Structure 1
């Protein structure tokens, strides 16, 4: 099975611009950012509730705890919220204006007002990438880019594995993309 495309910064900005210009702009942009800035799987994004990411005062949590039912496999995990993602989540809360006090409400709601299934949110991602004319991108592209970017910035393998929620290093290694520029930079270190 072919792996999802890793995104360049330019491509991510382009798909984000497409999301922000379309219907459900805030919701779709947040879904992209949760994948790109936190490495969340589409199933995990679809399962998030307001209470998962905001405290009772409406502040963005620094750590999101995912239950086993929200993740792939049978183990829960924690997701660290970066400063960039915290800003996006704070802006989303302001735009939604009614999130406080609705801890069990889905964070991202479909057109019908219900929680997304993983498959239906996957279709949203596919549509956004198609509109942005990014070939080979899928709902897994943000996650794969998150892991690849951290690996190329020297983040240790154990930390990558933990952030990705993987149980085996071999799984994490399959996510890391390599290109000619990276190979050239590596040999120049000698």
Structure 2
């Protein structure tokens, strides 16, 4: 199976512009896409996140999401750290959709039920395709998250923990070494 493509910021912006042109579920679609890019969560994890996983009792967005073993790959729970940008996006999204219960899926379908991992993977495929970004998949956000953080000089052990990998070799596959990263590296000597 081919690796997911790492997307450049211009391509992410292109997809966000496409999402903004859609009149239905714009806030939800933007929040789903940015959850992938800003948290590095797997599509199956995004599909299983519940309101109570991300929202505090006072309505604020948590800075850490504790995924249970059932919500993750490999049946090993993990903590996903939510940055300020994503907390703002999720708060904005939650203001547009009146969620009733902490146990409800964070992201809903047209039938007001949650996405399955497969249906969410298909959603990502079609939104990338319709936005004109070829070769992207549901895993592109996760891979772009890892590459972006790596480009900032964050070590592979930290990336391993952020991505929830048991094996550091798996993490190394996620990181694309761009020409700019290589230029920056040689300037360190």
Q: Is the TM value for this pair above 0.5? A: yes
Alignment of 1:38-57 (within 5 A): 38-57=39-58
Alignment-derived partner of residue 103 in structure 2: 104
1:61 aligns with 2:39: no
| Runs of 4 or more consecutive aligned structure 1 residues displaced over 4 Å after TM superposition | none
The answer to whether the aligner puts 1:125 opposite 2:121 as a matched pair is no
Give the TM-score normalised by structure 1.
Answer: 0.95
Structure 2, unaligned stretches of length 5 or more? none
Q: How does 1:133-148 map to 2 (within 5 A)?
A: 133-148=132-147
Residue 94, structure 1, aligned to residue 92, structure 2: no
- Mark the runs of 5 or more structure 1 residues left unpaired by the alignment: none
Q: CA deviation at 1:35?
A: 0.4
| 1:184 corresponding residue in structure 2 | 183
1 CA distance for matches of 2:162 and 2:102?
24
The number of aligned residues is: 188
1:188 Cα deviation from its structure 2 partner: 3.5
Q: TM-score, normalised by structure 2?
A: 0.95
* Map of 2:15 onto structure 1: 15
Aligned to 1:3: 3
Q: Which residue matches 1:116?
A: 115
| Alpha-carbon shift at residue 25 of structure 1 (Å) | 1.1
Asked whether 1:172 is paired with 2:137, we answer: no
Give per-residue Cα distances to partners, 1:115-144, cap 9 Å, x unaligned.
110010111111110111111111100100
Query: Which has the higher mean CA deviation after the structures are superposed, 154-163 or 32-41?
Result: 154-163
How far the C-alpha of 1:113 sits from its partner, in A, is: 1.2
Distance 1:91 1:180 in 2: 36
Whole-angstrom CA distance in 2 between matches of 1:18 and 1:165: 30
- In the aligned structure 2, how far is the partner of 1:34 from the partner of 1:65? 15
RMSD: 1.2
Q: Could you list the per-position Cα deviations for residues 75-105 of structure 1 after superposition, in whole angstroms to 9, with x for gaps in the alignment? A: 0000111010011011011111x22x51001
